[in-house]
A and B are shown apart, each in its own frame.
Chain A
Amino acid sequence: MSDTELAIETHGLTKRFGARTALDGIDLRVSRGAAFGFLGPNGAGKTTIIRTLLGLTHASAGTMRVLGHAVPGERAQALQRVGAIVEEPRFHMHLTGRENLRIVSAVRGPQTRARIESALTRVGLSERADHKVKSYSMGMRQRLGVARCLLADPLLLILDEPTNGLDPAGIQEFREMIRAMVEQEGRTVFISSHLLDEVEKTCDAAAIVDRGKIVTQGAIADLASGGGARHELILGVEDPERALELLRASEVVAEARPDDEGIRVVLAGEPRSAAQLNAELVRAGVGVTRLEPVRHSLEQRFLEVTSRLDADLVPAEVKA
């Protein structure tokens, strides 16, 4: 993938606050035209990487490129088509929504002024645009934050915990808006979140970060399955012992073990080999009552990798 196809690219990005290392050699690659989730527990370094990418704080080491421009060297060009909400969206409370957008528009340049109305319409705030922001609900402020981002006609949107404080309806609405921006408008959306479900439902790809390090990154489905080639089935059979024998001998099975729900089978090849497996069992006279692909959740994977990190951090003598 060439540099221009990447919306964000970092190499060895490190940020230290005194003795504490908040980001530890982050290598991140975010493709254009997709929703990318930056997932991690609180304090993992999600906001720090966003602040560093946006030039709100300086990196201690490493290199970054945003929309193909080196940061901080070409920061102004890089951020020209970037919209960002860092932590919660903040505004001048004594001004109206429209006035707040006018202020950012003045800073971004005259070409953005014409986008104020369309941005307000896009987020559904046209009718409340002339009310003071202090009268807005949290959800309305989030939407005004997105409208502020849209003034840049952004190729890249960076949203830090965007659904914080939103009610379920607001979260759903926000998710739909993000998907529309990606699918219909071709924008790249980078979302940091500690909400696994949120990232799984909104994003195409994600990176899991913990203690300032990227633990894993890739497409959501690949991350959940732990690398992309892992296809699992739950089998219900009439004769489990005989079935296990057959399964372990089968060339399409990598692993088979009894499970609370039946027999858990890890396929050696494509998911379609499940049909072949079914045929083999039936030919051998073992009735199959259930054959269900296992859907891996990102949550499982997240807990797996973060608990592995926890285990790695336990001193050797404690393990012994």
Chain B
Amino acid sequence: MNATIAVQMVGADFLKLRKKRGTLIWALVLTLAPLLVYFIVKGVQHSSSPAEHSPAGGIEGFKDAMPVLALFFGPLAAIMIGTDGGAGDLAAGVFRDLVVTGRARLALFASRVPAALGLCWLVVLAGYALMLIGIYALASGTPTPGAALALNGLLFTLFSTGIVCVVAVGLSSLIGSRPAALTVLIGWQLVASRILENIESLGSSRKLILSQAVAHFSPISLGQHHGPRGGETVTMSTATAVIVSVAWVVVFCALGAWRTRTMDA
């Protein structure tokens, strides 16, 4: 398979995803609405009582808003898009029609990943742009993030959502069902991993939790008890965080690719 076909296949997968209005709208709502609510509530509070409430924007607003986007709602949007990307062909019943073209099944799987990532990052970029607008527009004269911090925040947000998106593609390709993959991943992100990271007796094994490894790369300090989504932060070396993050991606991609290659279509 040459590069032209690979690019066309990714484009075709991207087309399927971007035209799925339900998924796209909900991903945008999940990404944008919490930020809007945050800025509106904080803005109203600050304007009604500036002495009691800090501005919605500025560096403090950035520290509050970025985890909301990068570690909570952004990954949820990534899960929605990733699970659709992984199981969309199977759900529509067209997987077998793609297989009968003679194209390698691994190529069919491989094209799903960049397509889902592409759409996920477009949605997240929209969220990040909204966040920056709010941070600078509602700073009320307080210090604002510099270009380097804003860029690091963007890269971190793309990393944290991208990794979850790829895991979602792999898991939904493995399970073959979008609703099941969606349930498992949202359950894991919102409930299971949050419970696990607060069980101190699990000790260093909590480093295996994806959100903990991802949080390690945050450009802002999340604080000992302000870990991802309010849980406890487990300290780990950068090497460990890299290994854990890569392992999640590799394992789920391998499982998804294996299932795509071996399943009866």
- Chain A: residues with CB nearer than 8 A to chain B? 51, 54-57, 75-80, 82, 84, 86, 89-95, 99-100, 102-110, 148, 152
Residue pair A95, B15 in contact (C-beta under 8 Å): yes
Name A107's contact: one of B21, B96, B108 (CB within 8 Å).
B108
Given A90-B94, A106-B5, decide whether A57 and B103 contact each other with a Cβ distance below 8 A: no
Q: In the docked arrangement, what's the CA distance between A152 and B21, Å?
A: 30
Per-residue CB contact flags for chain B residues 101-128 toward chain A (1 = under 8 Å, else 0) read: 1111000100000000000000000000
Q: A103-B98, A104-B98, A107-B101 are in contact. List 15 more A-B contacts (CB 8 A).
A: A51-B264, A51-B265, A55-B100, A56-B265, A79-B100, A86-B97, A90-B97, A91-B94, A92-B16, A95-B16, A105-B8, A107-B5, A107-B9, A107-B98, A107-B108
Cα–Cα distance between A100 and B16 once the two chains are bound (Å): 9
Cross-interface CB contact of A110 among B5, B19, B92, B101, cutoff 8 Å: B5
* B93 close to A108 (CB less than 8 A): no
> Which residues of B are found within 8 Å of A105, using beta-carbon distances?
8
A103 in contact with B12 given A56-B100, A78-B102 (CB within 8 Å) = yes
B residues less than 8 Å from A91 (CB atoms): 92, 94
Which residues from chain B contact A54 at a C-beta distance below 8 Å?
A: 96, 99-100
Known: A92-B16, A99-B15. A110 touches B8 (CB 8 A): yes
Contact A107 B264 (CB under 8 A): no
Chain B residues within 8 Å of A109, by CB: 5
Verify if B219 is at the interface (C-beta below 8 Å from A). Answer: no
A94 touches B19 (CB 8 A): yes
21 contacts between A and B (CB under 8 A): A51-B265, A54-B99, A56-B96, A56-B99, A56-B265, A57-B265, A76-B103, A79-B102, A86-B100, A89-B97, A90-B94, A90-B96, A90-B97, A93-B92, A99-B19, A104-B98, A106-B5, A106-B11, A107-B8, A107-B98, A108-B101
Q: Is the beta-carbon distance between A76 and B15 smaller than 8 angstroms? A: no
Q: Which residues of A contact B226 (CB under 8 A)?
A: none
Checking B12, B20, B93, B97 against A106 with a beta-carbon cut-off of 8 angstroms, the contacting residue is B12
Give the A-B pair count, Cβ closer than 8 A: 88
In the complex, B201 has a CB within 8 A of chain A: no
Q: Tell me the complex Cα distance, A36–B16, Å.
A: 35
Return chain B residues, CB-CB under 8 Å to A102: 12, 15
Q: How far is the CA of A121 from the CA of B187 in the complex (A)?
A: 48
**B4 contacts partner chain A, Cβ-Cβ < 8 Å:** yes
**What are the residues of chain A within 8 A of B102 when measuring CB–CB?**
55, 75-80, 82
A38 to chain B, nearest CB (A): 17
Q: Within 8 Å CB of B16, what residues of A?
A: 92, 95, 103
Residue tally, chain B, CB below 8 Å to A = 27
Are A106 and B96 within 8 A (Cβ)? Answer: no
Q: How far is the CB of A231 from chain B (nearest CB, A)?
A: 42
Query: Which chain A positions have C-beta within 8 A of B108?
Result: 107
Q: Are A84 and B100 touching (Cβ within 8 A)?
A: yes
The distance from the CB of A144 to the nearest CB of chain B, in whole angstroms, is: 11
B12 to chain A: closest residue by CB: A106
Bound state CA distance, A77 and B88, in angstroms? 27
A110 lies within 8 A of B100 (CB): no
- Binary flags per residue of B134-148, CB closer than 8 Å to A gives 1, else 0: 000000000000000
Q: When A and B form their complex, which 8 residue pairs have the shortest distance between CB atoms, in order from nearest?
A: A79-B102, A90-B93, A106-B12, A106-B8, A56-B265, A76-B102, A103-B12, A57-B264
Q: What distance in Å separates the Cβ of B95 from its nearest Cβ neighbour in chain A?
A: 9
Question: In the complex, are the beta carbons of A95 and B19 less than 8 A apart?
Answer: yes
Contacts of A86 in B (CB 8 A): 96-97, 100
Flag if B92 contacts A90 (CB, 8 Å): yes
Return chain B residues, CB-CB under 8 Å to A76.
102-104
Residues of B with C-beta under 8 A to A55: 99-100, 102
Residues of A within 8 A of B11 (CB): 106
A56-B99, A99-B19 known; A107+B12 contact, CB < 8 A: yes
- Asked if residues B100 and A82 are in contact (CB atoms below 8 Å), the reply is yes
Most buried by A among B4, B8, B101: B101
Closest beta carbon of chain A to B80's beta carbon, Å: 15
- What is the minimal beta-carbon distance from A85 to any residue of chain B, in angstroms? 8
- Given contacts A95-B19, A106-B5, A110-B8, whether A152 and B264 have CB atoms under 8 Å apart is no
Q: A91-B92, A103-B16, A104-B97 are in contact. Are A110 and B103 (CB under 8 A)?
A: no
Question: Contact at B92–A56, with CB atoms within 8 Å?
Answer: no
Taking CB atoms, residues of chain A closer than 8 Å to B97 are 84, 86, 89-90, 104, 148
Chain A residues whose CB sits within 8 angstroms of the CB of B101 once the complex forms: 79, 104, 107-108, 152
Q: State A95–B94 Cα separation when bound (angstroms).
A: 12
- Given contacts A56-B265, A57-B264, A102-B15, are A92 and B5 in contact (CB under 8 A)? no
**Least Cβ–Cβ distance between A47 and chain B, in angstroms:** 11
Question: Given the complex, which residues of B lie within 8 Å of A89, measured CB to CB?
Answer: 97
Instruction: Among A54, A89, A152, find the residue whose CB has the most chain B CB atoms closer than 10 A.
Output: A54
When each residue 81-99 of chain B gets 1 if its CB lies under 8 Å from chain A and 0 otherwise, what string results? 0000000100011101111
Smallest CB separation, B98 vs chain A (Å): 5
A152 proximity list for chain B (CB < 8 A) = 101
Q: Give bound CA distance, A148 to B97, whole Å.
A: 9
How far is the CB of A132 from the nearest CB of chain B, in Å?
9
